[in-house]
Amino acid sequence: MAASQRISRAEAEKTKHYMEQGLSQGMTRQQACVYASKEMGVPRQTIWSRAKPDGVISRLFPDLCVNFEIKPDISYQYREINKPKIIVKVSKSPEGEAYKICVIGDTHDSPALPDKTRFRWIARHICKTRPDKVVHIGDMGDFESCSTHAPPGSQTYAYKPSFKQDMESLEEALAIFHKELGSHSIPLLLTEGNHEYRIDRWEEGHPETQGILKGSFYETIARYGWKAYAFGEWILIGGVGFSHVPKNIMGKPYGGKFSENQIGNDAIFSIVYGHTHRAVFRRVPKIGPMNSIEILNVGSAMPDGYVASYANTSTTGWTYGIYDIKIRGGHIEDYTFHSMQRLQEQYGD
């Protein structure tokens, strides 16, 4: 048996415990894998290879097989959920530690975009400016292979790339970025977008792929130093929230031509997001000592002028580039937009 398929009884017991704990809370198998993965610090694909009915645990420790028929604990829905507390230092004149963040908008890498040079330019810019952190706002890849928009049997469905092709394309882009970044130890953070979430939805509808596709994605980006945050999850840096797109009271992403106005009205802290591919900055007045918050949509980091096929007859107003921002005391204190054209002029070969 391969070394990767040998685990101790203690590890098997922990895997069983966290999987069944997740299932008892009403999670799907996929969600329980993610939960166990986070609790144990083990890749989700590894968790599934252990826990699945014909997996490592069933072969090595038949008495510890995970009970996938476990009934959700109904009382769980009535338990108090510990909501994360967001503490924002309020001051008319921001104080405290300042953070320099390079924010990369939606890159939408795909096999249909074979030219990866923009990843080289962005990495060279980061090496030159040396930010404290890099945040990719999501939709790093397009993942058309996992799209459910085209019905099976249609021509569009037939011409979709395979997941393997999607991942090979993304890995090529990440390898170029990583090579240029070199030994710089700058934290690389990814807020997953709705296109990364395509993988989750595909696995949910195709149980035979559960844990395999998203596990491959996580393992690939981890090799190149990226830490991922799930779609809808917030990254908080200096009191400012980063997410691919905030969600409204109905749990749907804010959208439309003036989404930043809606977000600004509802938000209680400054926000950096993407999703609509249009760069917009708004300073929104608020009652209280903080006086105002800032809303920044960073647009896209797609090739200059590129318009996806679904929008090629629309009035898009898309922008192409990246942002350097400075954060202090819960405010976006300063920001600079670097267009793709400017990046090419500065860092192109």
**pLDDT given at position 79:** 45
SS3 159: coil
Strand arrangement of the beta sheet that strand 240-242 belongs to: 235-237, 240-242, 271-273, 292-298, 279-285
The helix (H) or strand (E) run that includes residue 177 is: helix 163-181
What proportion of the chain, given as a percentage, has pLDDT over 90?
61
DSSP 78: G
What is the rounded CA–CA span in Å between residue 79 and residue 99? 37
User: 40 lies in a domain?
Assistant: yes
Is 183 found in the same domain as 143? yes
Vertex 253 angle, CA 238 and 110, to 5°? 90
Is 279 found in the same domain as 147? yes
**Which of 45, 78, 111 is the last residue before a domain boundary?**
78
The residue whose two tokens read 């749907």 is 252
pLDDT tens column, 228-250: 999 999 999 999 999 999 998 88
User: 93 lies in a domain?
Assistant: no
User: 212 lies in a domain?
Assistant: yes
Q: Within 10 Å of residue 195's Cβ, how many Cβ atoms?
A: 24
> Could you tell me if 100 and 69 are in contact, meaning their C-beta atoms sit under 8 angstroms apart?
no
Dihedral sign (CA 87, 91, 97, 101): positive
88-106 CB burial, b ≥16 within 10 A, e <16 = bebeeebeeeebebbbbbb
Strand arrangement of the beta sheet that strand 133-136 belongs to: 226-229, 188-191, 133-136, 98-104, 321-328, 331-339
Is 69 found in the same domain as 181? no
What is the rounded CA–CA span in Å between residue 35 and residue 33? 5
Confidence of residue 113 (pLDDT cuts 50, 70, 90): very high
Q: Structurally, how many domains does the chain consist of? A: 2
Residue from 174, 173, 167, 169 nearest 217 by CA = 167
Is 104 found in the same domain as 70? no
**Which of 46, 78, 110 is the last residue before a domain boundary?**
78
Is 237 found in the same domain as 275? yes
SS3 200: helix
Is 153 found in the same domain as 61? no
In angstroms, how far is CA 159 from the centroid of its own chain? 26
Is 102 found in the same domain as 71? no
User: 51 lies in a domain?
Assistant: yes
Q: Which of 2-6, 19-23, 105-109, 164-168 has the lowest mean pLDDT?
A: 2-6
pLDDT at residue 292 above 90?
yes
Backbone angles phi, psi at 134, to 5 degrees: -115, 130
Please compute the mean of the pLDDT values over residues 279-301 and round it to a whole number.
92
> Could you tell me if 174 and 220 are in contact, meaning their C-beta atoms sit under 8 angstroms apart?
yes
Q: Give Cβ neighbours of residue 71 (< 8 Å, ≥ 6 apart).
A: 24
Is 139 found in the same domain as 7? no
Q: Please tell me the pTM assigned to this model.
A: 0.72
Is 242 found in the same domain as 124? yes
In angstroms, how far is CA 208 from the centroid of its own chain? 24
What is the rounded CA–CA span in Å between residue 11 and residue 15? 6
User: 313 lies in a domain?
Assistant: yes
User: 152 lies in a domain?
Assistant: yes
pLDDT at residue 28 above 90?
no
Is 107 found in the same domain as 61? no
Amino acid letter for position 128: K
Residue 291 is part of a domain; what is its CATH number? 3.60.21
Q: Give Cβ neighbours of residue 29 (< 8 Å, ≥ 6 apart).
A: 23, 68, 207, 210
Is 69 found in the same domain as 188? no
Q: Which domain holds residue 320?
A: 98-347
DSSP 138: S
pLDDT at residue 78 above 50?
no
Backbone angles phi, psi at 109, to 5 degrees: -60, 145
**pLDDT given at position 84:** 52
Is 103 found in the same domain as 74? no
| Strand duo 321-328 + 98-104: pairing | antiparallel
What is the rounded CA–CA span in Å between residue 322 and residue 196? 20
pLDDT at residue 271 above 60?
yes
User: 86 lies in a domain?
Assistant: no
User: 87 lies in a domain?
Assistant: no
Please compute the mean of the pLDDT values over residues 71-88 and round it to a whole number.
51
What is the rounded CA–CA span in Å between residue 111 and residue 53? 35
